Amino acid sequence: MIKLNLAKNTLLISLLMSVSAHTFAFDFQGALKDAAKEAVKKQIDPSGNNTNNTSDTEKPASDAKITDLSKAEPPIFNWQNPSIDEEILLGREITGNLLGAAPLVKDAALQNYVNSVGRWVASQSDRADLPWHFGVIESDDLNAFAAPGGFVLITKGLYKKMTNEAQLAGVLGHEIGHIVKKHQLKVLQKQQLLNMGSNFLSDKYAKDNKLVSNAIGSGAEISARSLDKTAEYEADRLGITFATRAGYEPYGLVDVLQTLSQTSVNDGSVALLFKTHPHPDERLARLGDAIGNKLDNVKNGQTLEKRFYKLRN
Amino acid sequence: MNLLNKLKIAGSIALIFGAGFATAAETGSALKNDKMRFEPYADAKVTGTFGRGESLQIIKKQGAWLQVKTKKSTGWVRLLSVKRGASAASTGSNIATLANGRAGTGQVVSTTGIRGLNEQELKAAKFNETEVKTLESYTQTASQGQQFASAGSLKAISFTTIKSPQTNSAGAAK
């Protein structure tokens, strides 16, 4: 056992890879932060106001707060406890930026197909009520992205590596997992609260702001790096969980990880993926440990290769 | 056709066959230390073991199991214990890089017209409202998803969330 762990640790973790890695790289590099600021600006700007409806069933307290504020003064983005609407607003901003870098593939049949698969898989999650959006983007890179509130994008390059619907379901399931667990949102909240905290620190009224103490407390505690890897492994397990629940052959995501593991680290199409994710070999090994015999009784999972939408080029 | 030519043809057929065979017997490597079993079942008799990184031949696949052959023995193992394909990630890396039209830096140098997604590009990207609206236009409802599933004979099953092994082993009744 000790030997095994040692061996795992010696794996070159810098050879990171995989399916949704980008989002995290993206997050940490600050682009996400910019998007967040943009989202806040938009919400504060009365001309761009939109979504303060109280559709948030999870957090009635924060809803009430926002509703009150909107009557008297400009609404504040509640970083401490964002509502679902705020989460979606943020995710939309991030997704719009990503689409600015790589637009959607102009193939409505493809986009519809991916939305059908994604919607069905997302329905097996704990956040089935989100308005889920899926898209294939113009890029030869192998990657996929999730943004808060139900936005999932995968590259055309990665799509082309797949041969059946179960594989697509597994990959989308991984991204859905990130959103369900609010991985990106949490990183963003931490960053943002920390920023606000450092601004407020020079303010003599800082003590009155509960937000500040919370932000500094949480920001200092957790290493973003380890959260990152843990989040990827969790998303892998959730991806398989959701795809399995959806009636697919459970090993679709594993197939894709196998393909990625055979891609050379020198291949530019996986540069970002490998930089931001644990190596697929490590992910496969972790999945193996987590799955054990748990899938032994799952029968009749579908791969649906005949229905899988083939790209023309 | 003279005998020599016939022999040549026979020879090339043999070559083709040989090549086909070589690709059929897929190679792989062990992702971890594991046991091989006589049949693709967890409680089948152990036929041998292999160590992490050991290279092996993949004979066939059955469900979540692979029949593999090491230097010493043959047996069935869970597919997540094996990395498929040539062992080293270095295989054909230069060719792949060239074929992809990219320089070693990850910069796009080809004429595909499609740019790679690197950090700088993502950072510099400008919000595109039209594309987001297009994306949103494809959104489906839960019942549309259900219809799509039914059309493909997909049936939802209840299945417990797979937890991390640490969490599992704590209260596992294995």
Residue A47 parent element (H or E): none
> Are β-strands A133-137 and A151-155 bridged in parallel, bridged antiparallel, or unpaired?
parallel
What percentage of chain B has pLDDT greater than the value 70? 63
The total of structural domains in chain A comes to 1
Concatenating the DSSP letter of every residue in A89-141 gives: HHHHHHHHHHHHHSPBPS-HHHHHHHHHHHHHHHTTSTTTTS--EEEEES-SS
Report chain A residues whose CB lies below 8 A from the CB of B111.
none
Is residue A254 within 8 Å of A244, Cβ to Cβ? no
Beta carbons of B31 and A285 less than 8 Å apart: yes
Beta carbons of A97 and B79 less than 8 Å apart: no
pTM equals 0.73
Query: A36 lies in a domain?
Result: no
Please give the average per-residue pLDDT across A159-183, as a whole number. Answer: 97
Q: How many whole angstroms separate alpha carbon A192 and alpha carbon A38?
A: 12
Does residue A239 have a pLDDT over 70?
yes
Please give the average per-residue pLDDT across A115-132, as a whole number. Answer: 98
Tell me the shortest Cα–Cα distance from A61 to chain B, in angstroms.
28
Token pair 């931490």 in the structure block, residue: A190
Q: How many whole angstroms separate alpha carbon A116 and alpha carbon B138?
A: 9
| pLDDT single digits (tens) B91-127 | 333 333 333 333 333 333 333 334 567 777 777 788 8
> Of the given ranges (A50-54, A253-257, B134-138), which has the lowest mean pLDDT?
A50-54
Residue B135: predicted pLDDT: 98
Does residue B172 have a pLDDT over 70?
no
Q: Pick A41 or A219 by higher pLDDT.
A: A41
Residue B1: predicted pLDDT: 53
Report chain B residues whose CB lies below 8 A from the CB of A268.
97, 100, 102-108, 116
ipTM of the complex: 0.73
Residue B130: predicted pLDDT: 97
Residue B159: predicted pLDDT: 97
* Domain span holding position A175: 17-25+104-291
Interface probe, candidates A1, A6, A97, chain B, greatest B C-beta count within 10 A: A97
Res. A200 pLDDT band, cuts 50 70 90 = low
Per the prediction, chain A carries an average pLDDT of: 76
Res. B152 pLDDT band, cuts 50 70 90 = very high
Does residue B21 have a pLDDT over 80?
no
Closest listed residue to residue A15, CA positions, set A262, A288, A286, A290 = A262
Please give the average per-residue pLDDT across B136-145, as a whole number. Answer: 98
The residue type of A152 is: V
| pLDDT single digits (tens) A12-31 | 333 333 344 444 444 433 55
Does residue A10 have a pLDDT over 50?
no
Q: Tokens in use for B49?
A: 């073991």
B111 half-sphere exposure, CB direction, 13 A CA radius: 0
Please give the average per-residue pLDDT across A93-115, as a whole number. Answer: 93
Concatenating the DSSP letter of every residue in A175-223 gives: HHHHHHTTHHHHHHHHHHHHHHHHHHHTSTTGGG-HHHHHHHHHHHH--
Beta carbons of A291 and B128 less than 8 Å apart: no
Residue B120: predicted pLDDT: 72
> Of the given ranges (A99-113, A138-152, B75-89), which has the lowest mean pLDDT?
B75-89
Does residue A176 have a pLDDT over 80?
yes
Is residue A246 within 8 Å of A172, Cβ to Cβ? no
Q: How many whole angstroms separate alpha carbon A106 and alpha carbon B51?
A: 47
Interface probe, candidates A115, A227, A249, A299, chain B, greatest B C-beta count within 10 A: A115
Nearest CA in chain B to A259: B84
Bridge partners, B83 (sequence order): B29
Indicate the residue of B96, B136, B163 with minimum beta-carbon distance to A290.
Answer: B163
Judge whether A29 is closer than 8 Å to chain B, CB to CB.
yes
Q: Pick B62 or B155 by higher pLDDT.
A: B155
Q: Pick A241 or B64 by higher pLDDT.
A: A241
3-state DSSP assignment of residue A20: coil
Q: Pick A258 or A226 by higher pLDDT.
A: A258
Query: A162 lies in a domain?
Result: yes
Query: A184 lies in a domain?
Result: yes
Does residue B145 have a pLDDT over 70?
yes
Restricting to A residues 34-63, those with a Cβ less than 8 Å away from any Cβ of B are 34-35, 38
CATH top-level class for B15-84? mainly beta
Q: How many whole angstroms separate alpha carbon A84 and alpha carbon A127?
A: 11
**Which part of chain B is CATH 2.30.30.40?**
15-84
3-state DSSP assignment of residue A63: helix
Does residue A207 have a pLDDT over 70?
no
Q: How many whole angstroms separate alpha carbon A175 and alpha carbon A138?
A: 18
